[in-house]
Structure 1
Amino acid sequence: MTERAYTPEITTSFTVHDLLRRRAELQPDRIALNVDDGPTIGYGEWDRRSNAVARGLIDAGVRHGQVIGLVFDGLDWIDYAVAYMGVLKAGATATHLNQNVGADEIVRRMEFCSAVGLLHGEDVRPPAAFTGFTGTVTSMASQDTSDPQIGVDVTDISDILFTSGTTGPAKGSASPHGNLTYGRGPEGFHLFGDPEPLLTPMPLGTTASATTINFSIHTPSTLVICPIDAPERMAQLIEKFSIGSIMITPWLAMQLVHSGATERHDLSCVETIANASTALPPAIARRLLEAMPNARLNMSYAASEAVPASIGHTFDPAVPMATGRPLRGTELRIADEHGEEAPTGELGEIWLRSPAPKRYYFDNPELNAKVHADRWTRTGDLGRVDADGLLHFFDRRNVAIRTRGTLVSTIEVEAALYEHPAVRAAAVFGMPGADGDQEVTAAVALADPAALDELPGFLAGHLAPEQIPGRIHQVDVMPRSANGKVLKHVLRDRLTGRAG
């Protein structure tokens, strides 16, 4: 691997809202968002309405660099998109929230980033404990829809994005405009003909929703948005609109294949499936491809702190657990305990680097010093690179289980559990065991409760002895974050009786 000194590089001249302005000039009538085959918004309307919100915020006293919270839920995507771009056009910074995290957590995050105001959906009641101003898109909008022309640089902070909180309290990171627009410009707006729409069932008020809005400004396709917990509706929309591509998380994929909706609808129009968020079990990947026989399944890996650096490839049944190779502008290092590059095939920490303006943890210099060095991001994830240059994601360092003198990947054990036809959801984690070891423990939701007794014998044919869970608990539902990731720390506490 070639080493070189790294200095910050500005690789784009556009802010996020610059691209919306340009898109509105070039394609004012093209539909940007179609919400569940109902409300739509075009780029011209989006631009004008967000100008009005920006002017309303400025009139309310919002100044450059101040933080505004966005609390939207359900399918209120159009007002969310207008509010988000309005905040950025006012020169402010957005942070994305939803009511699922609870009023206390909303207030904690708002206080953490010194937010001065909060824009919310018409059906959202802002937390009473928040002391800043609050308003809806309607109440905040000025009558003046002209662009306020506030000067914003690509190095200015566009967003404070919070992690999913799957392993503990959510952490906030500051993302500059140039991080989100890296490698993107108006040249991506055009595509000959009428591009096929793209389906994206994502939760509002999350890092994923912010990414979706930014993607909608750049992609030639209309984004069709549907609920995240309605697989039948997802399949209906795919069939009705002849959806060419879908953006999906593992939890959404599991709901889709287990619901039977793939058998009731023709999904052969899908050509690309993009999986993100976390590892997709190979058993689920195969079932998705059976339901969408003309599709390729693109797998990707990224750490929120390292975006836009990412790893990806097309799912290959011959190497089902492979994550991929570095994508354009991404450098990858598997680092040993000394920070040196680990030999091929050996386990180490995944480090990522790109020339884009970086994200840093907000107001946390100690953590930044620990995670970021020479523009590398130390992800805290473990992996290995094989002889063909493919990255194999192993696990989060703080989630992998130390037992019997070896390290067990919860990802690999969960993948084996999903091979059993009765397993609908699985989560694997460590519990205190003998002699300071951890015991491999699993929680499963089953289509047939009688299958619980079959699992140890079934896993013996798929895993090494030290990987087989010593205890397997049956649960009705898994506690999940807004984007569907299992909250393993909550599950562990429930099973040990420390929480309800």
Structure 2
Amino acid sequence: MATKSGTGEALLPVTLDDLLDSASRARPGAVAVRCGGQVLAYGELHSRVRATARRWDSLGLTSHGTAALLLENTPECVIAFLAAARLGVRLVPLEPGTTRPQLDALRAATGPLFVAAHEARLRALGGGEVENPLDDRVLVAVDEPAGVTDEPGRRGPARRPDDEPRAAAPDAPFLYQYTSGSTGEPKAVVHTQRNLVNGGETYTRAYNVGGDDRVLVAVPLLHSFGMVAGLVTALRAGAQLVLLGRFTPARLLSALDEHACTVLVAAPMAYDLTTRAAATSRPPRPPRALRLCLSSGAALPPAVAQRARERLDMDVQQVYGCTEAGVIAARRPEDGPGAGRGVGRPLPGVQVRVVDEHGREVPRGEEGALLVRTPAMFTHYLGHPEATRRAFRDGWYATGDVARIDPEGHLHLVGRKDSFINVGGKKVNPLEVERALLTHPSVAEAVVWGEETGDTGERVRATVVALTPLPAAELTSHCRARLLPHQVPTAVDFVSALPKNSLGKIRRAAVRAAPGADGNGW
């Protein structure tokens, strides 16, 4: 399905199937997806998505059903994702390692499930029997070669041309994407296909992504950054999507050169590991075709940004967004380097406001609550009407971030409003304390949070990963020299590692839930 533009001349894609149709008509022989030795042209991808959708439809998956996809960075999972979009089902992308109890919890919230994954994952879930239902869940392997085509002599239902599943509605609920849970309990964020297409259009326009680009995605397609900045943007541009399967620094470095990748989509953790690995080559050689590096999922540490500049011979562009609103702001190559540019400027089609506690817009340079409107805005949280109501203010999404906009229009994040610590009536920004802790040469990572004291107040507490044995008193003294007295941590816990999600983002809620760790890890 597509809609006419305001001029009545051009057709604008509104579903993911529209994107695939457009790309396969324009460039049927161009490479759509590459992963190691697997290569799919756009025409072949189109055919396999159609055949998979017909097969799933024959198994009873309709637009009223819910599909759980254990989404991995493989061509088969891309086909499954687009087949679900073709059918217009409710799609829940899940971590590949999702367990049976977790599927049980999801089924309780959504009803019967159609579970798609690589065969090895399904055998682990179904006790070795892929073909048999798991309770009221239908298990389907995405890599079953005979189940994704209806060519003569191959297994699969024969379908007439007029027996195709009905086209998906662009504004119906489609993607049920769980938040990272880094600051609280994960919730399912509901997006339409139009939301996702709009997100891909935003990246395409902002970074001039075209059919000659080769977009290497080194973050999970499960997460909104990999899904939209990688998969959807490549589809929108008719570009080549390059996948690594399982990420390793060596694979990433090899793929950049072997496939002449022009765009790299990665999280700070991937840039950190890859640039360290690149430093071992003699001499380090920047990838020959790379023109753009995007980073999101967490803040890009200055040391990692500097190392990437040296190893990749270009600046990494920080992207700021969230699961609910999609991409909000980003740096662009034409902005030039410099920490003074914050997280960049709002991208095309995005509106931002910084307001005080009464909802009044504050002057540029002043701090306040960040509200946004984006073309990729979610519709609601599944099963959380009160959280949905609190998330919006007169049609603007309240991000929960405290921010300011400088005179040049760059957006600067100050911190999370709900993470500020109340110490005797004085507000402490945990990010400021974390920055002070990280200046100590023996501190690798730090999370600062507020612990209730029992008298309606809080105290500042820090959880630290140290490179070498480190007395807590030394850290306290280090902070006293750099912070105000009420900002100094009154307790420090040492751990061997911090809990993180698959993008490398620290799960702050999990840190708060496990104070006093003994250093044996999480």
Shorter-chain TM-score: which interval?
A: 0.7 to 0.9
The secondary structure found in structure 1 opposite 2:348 is: coil
**2:262 — aligned with what?**
244
Q: Does 1:301 align with 2:301?
A: no
Task: Report matched runs for 1:310-349 at 5 Å.
Answer: 310-314=328-332, 318-320=338-340, 322-349=342-369
Letter in 1 for 2:317: N
Aligned to 2:139: 134
Matches within 5 A, 1:391-430: 391-430=411-450
Q: What SS does structure 1 have at the residue aligned with 2:279?
A: helix
Unpaired runs of at least 5, structure 1: 1-10
2:153 — aligned with what? none
| 1:261 alignment partner in structure 2 | 278
Q: Give the C-alpha shift of residue 70 in structure 1.
A: 0.4
Q: Give 2:462's match in structure 1, choosing from 428, 442, 445.
A: 442
Partners in 2 of 1:323 and 1:374 — Cα distance? 25
Residue 412 of structure 1 and its aligned partner are, at CA, apart by 3.5
Post-superposition CA distance 1:163-184 (Å, at most 9, x none): 0111232111211111111276
Q: CA deviation at 1:24?
A: 1.3
Cα distance change of structure 1 residues 130 and 263 upon mapping to structure 2, 3 Å threshold = farther
Deviation at 1:324, TM superposition (A): 2.2
Q: Is the 8 A contact 1:401 1:440 kept in 2?
A: yes
Q: Does 1:121 find its partner at 2:118?
A: yes
Moved more, 322-331 or 93-102: 93-102
Note the alpha carbon deviations across 1:319-346, whole angstroms, 9 max, x for none: 3571222211111111222222233333
Give the conservation status (yes or no) of the 8 Å contact 1:176–1:357.
Answer: no
Cα distance, 1:127–1:409 mapped onto 2, change above 3 Å = farther
> Structure 1 CA distance, aligned partners of 2:504 and 2:212?
29
How far apart in 2 are the matches of 1:111 and 1:19? 33
Match of 1:94 in 2: 91
1:168 aligns with 2:184: yes
Given the superposition, is the C-alpha separation of residues 267 and 404 from structure 1 closer, same or farther in structure 2, using an over 3 Å criterion? farther
* Alpha carbons 1:202, 1:228 under 8 Å: kept: no
* Total equivalences in the alignment: 481
Aligned to 1:431: 451
> In the aligned structure 1, how far is the partner of 2:502 from the partner of 2:23?
30
Which letter does structure 1 place at the counterpart of 2:102? E
Equivalent AA in structure 1 for residue 148 of structure 2: A
Q: 1:44 to 1:255 in 2, by over 3 A?
A: same
Residues 65 and 157 in structure 1, CA contact (< 8 A), matched pair in contact too: no
1:344-359 map, 5 Å: 344-355=364-375, 358-359=378-379
Give 1:369's aligned amino acid.
Answer: R
Rounded to whole Å, the distance in 1 between the matches of 2:431 and 2:273 is 19
Q: Which of 1 and 2 has greater Rg?
A: 2
Q: Structure 1 residues 160 and 45, CA, compared in 2 at 3 Å: closer, same or farther?
A: same
Question: Structure 2: 5+ residue runs without aligned partners?
Answer: 1-10, 127-133, 151-157
Match of 1:375 in 2: 395
Give deviations 1:150-205, integer Å, cap 9, x for gaps: 222221222111101112321112111111112767xx79x999835332211254
Indicate the residue corresponding to 1:203 in structure 2. Answer: 220
Change (3 A) 1:110 1:141: farther
Aligned to 1:271: 291
Residue in structure 2 matched with residue 24 of structure 1 by the alignment: 24
* Cα pair 1:284 1:418 within 8 Å, conserved: no
Q: Relative contact order, CA 8 A, sep 6+: which one is greater? A: 1
Q: Distance in 1 between matches of 2:22 and 2:238?
A: 13
Please give the per-residue CA displacement for 1:409-444, whole angstroms capped at 9, x wherever unaligned.
333333444445544333332233485433333333
Counterpart of 1:342, as a letter, is: V
Q: Distance in 2 between matches of 1:172 and 1:491?
A: 22
C-alpha displacement of 1:85: 1.0
2:210–2:238 contact (8 Å) kept in structure 1: no
When the two chains are superposed, the root-mean-square deviation of aligned CA atoms in Å is: 3.3
CA offsets 1:100-149 (integer angstroms, 9 cap, x no match) = 45432333234323353111111113746652212113275352586925
Paired AA for residue 40 in structure 1: V
Tell me the amino acid that sits aligned with residue 306 of structure 1.
Answer: A
Quote the Cα distance in structure 1 between the aligned partners of 2:209 and 2:114: 42
What is the SS of the residue equivalent to 1:302?
strand
- Is the 1:89–1:148 Cα contact (8 Å) retained in structure 2? no
Whole-angstrom distance in 2 between the partners of 1:488 and 1:120? 30
Given the alignment, which residue of 159, 162, 168 partners 2:175? 159
Q: What letter matches 1:141 in structure 2?
A: V
CA distance in 1, matches of 2:309, 2:320: 19
Q: Secondary structure at the match of 1:181?
A: helix
Whether 1:289 aligns to 2:289 is no
Q: 1:344 to 1:115 in 2, by over 3 A?
A: farther
Amino acid at match of 1:19: L
Q: Which amino acid aligns with 2:234?
A: S
Contact kept? 2:199, 2:326, Cα under 8 Å: no
> Deviations along 1:390-416, whole A, 9 cap, x unmatched?
221122222232335333333333344
Residues 192 and 98 (structure 1), Cα distance of their counterparts in 2 relative to 1, 3 Å cut: closer
SS in 1 for 2:104: helix
Tell me the secondary structure at the aligned position of residue 124 of structure 1: helix
Question: Using the alignment, how far apart are the partners of 1:416 and 1:448 within structure 2?
Answer: 18
What TM-score results when the alignment is normalised by the length of structure 2?
0.81
